[in-house]
Amino acid sequence: MKRCMIVDDSSVIRKVAKRILAGPDLLVIEAGSANEALYMCEADMPHIIVVDGGLPDMATVDFIRQTLAIASDIRPQIVVCMTEFDVGAIMRAKRAGAKGYILKPFNRPQLLDRFREMQLAA
């Protein structure tokens, strides 16, 4: 079973994403901060990470780099969740190792379609 981590300081966004994505083939876990997520990744690296583009405790590109630097047999696919389309932020995230982005707020069809486009689970 693949594991997906939702990293966002908004409990509402985490719960909505979890409700949309969780299923028999995907276990969804939540982290409310970058530091909490890094701690969880060190213990058990998820296959997919959806990270808020504006976490209060760490820059998104730093989170991506630190996550990918963790020694693990799993190399997670990281998706940045943004509130507005920002080409510069998207390019910085991709250079740091992100696979892509999704805009929020999102609904079920948007999130599932984006996961399919990026060939992630869902």
Token output for 96: 């740091």
CB of 38 closer than 8 Å to CB of 62: no
How many Cα atoms occupy the beta-carbon half-sphere of 24 within 13 Å?
0
CB of 57 closer than 8 Å to CB of 35: yes
Q: Tens-of-pLDDT digits for all 122 residues of the chain? A: 899 999 999 999 999 999 999 999 899 999 999 999 999 999 999 999 999 999 999 999 999 999 999 999 999 999 999 999 999 999 999 999 999 999 988 889 888 888 888 787 65
Q: Per-domain residue ranges for the chain?
A: 2-117
Report pTM.
Answer: 0.94
CB atoms within 10 A of CB 121: 18
Longest CA pairwise span in the chain (Å): 36
CB atoms within 10 A of CB 87: 7
Predicted local distance difference test score (pLDDT) of residue 47? 95
CATH 3.40.630.10 for domain 2-117, yes or no, is no
The shares of helix, strand and coil residues in the chain, as percent rounded to the nearest 5, are 40, 25, 35
